[in-house]
Amino acid sequence: MGEAIEGTGKVMLVTTGMLGTPKTDGFVTEADALPELPRSSEATAIALAEKGINVSVVRLSPSVHDKGDRNFIPFMIRQGIKNGVAAYVGDGNNRWPAIHRLDAAHLFRLALEKGAKGQRYNAVADEGITIREIAEVIAEKMNLPLKPLLTEEEVTAHFEWLSWFVGFDSPATSYKTQEILEWTPTHIGLLDDMRENYF
């Protein structure tokens, strides 16, 4: 796809996630490259940009939230109901960034309109919400007990396919993205959105 637009000046945005990206001073920044495996899309995009093709990367937070969300957070809620507990891994202090869907959409538009070739953009509003905080909202709203999961078997049994993701500690910033694109997240944060719209 990238090679098809070579020489045209047309813009291509590649979307990736950011869980598991190495951190700088405790946070995933735009300068931190996503490991090539298991995802190769970011590395491929950067390689195309180095060939002069107008490609950049938008990295989404694991929670892109709003009414109608059907991904990680709703699955965690359903698993809580199914298993009768609001669970988290270990001490629950591992963190996920989050962004409201409308803030992410605004970022995509700005990246298309004035993005820079080869640039990584972090779609981040909440820099690091602990998994325990998410579980606490589920417990509060669904009247469920909180439960730490201490073994790999417990984590897999409760979170199923999400067990590979739920233990990542990947707080992230978007300072450079905000500066380059003159973008500021303005919508409701994840925990308040959960309380108002997820139950």
Average pLDDT over residues 122-130: 98
pTM: 0.94
pLDDT at 9: 87
Helix intervals (H) in 101-189: 101-114, 131-142, 152-159, 163-166, 175-181
Scanning the structure block, which residue is given the tokens 């001073």? 25
Rounded Cα distance, 144 and 184, in Å: 36
Domain that holds residue 169: 3-190
pLDDT at 98: 98
pLDDT at 38: 63
In which band, very low, low, confident or very high, does the pLDDT at 118 lie, cut at 50, 70 and 90? Answer: very high
List the CATH number of the domain containing 117: 3.40.50.720
Residue 115 has pLDDT above 90, yes or no: no
Question: In this predicted model, what pLDDT tens digit does every residue of 31-81 receive, in sequence order?
Answer: 998 877 666 899 999 999 999 999 999 999 999 999 999 999 999 999 999
Helix intervals (H) in the chain: 41-50, 72-83, 101-114, 131-142, 152-159, 163-166, 175-181, 190-197
Does any domain span residue 72? yes
Rounded Cα distance, 11 and 54, in Å: 5
pLDDT at 39: 65
In which band, very low, low, confident or very high, does the pLDDT at 170 lie, cut at 50, 70 and 90? Answer: very high
Contact (Cβ atoms closer than 8 angstroms) between residue 96 and residue 170: yes
Does any domain span residue 196? no
Does any domain span residue 198? no
Question: How many domains in the chain?
Answer: 1
pLDDT at 36: 74
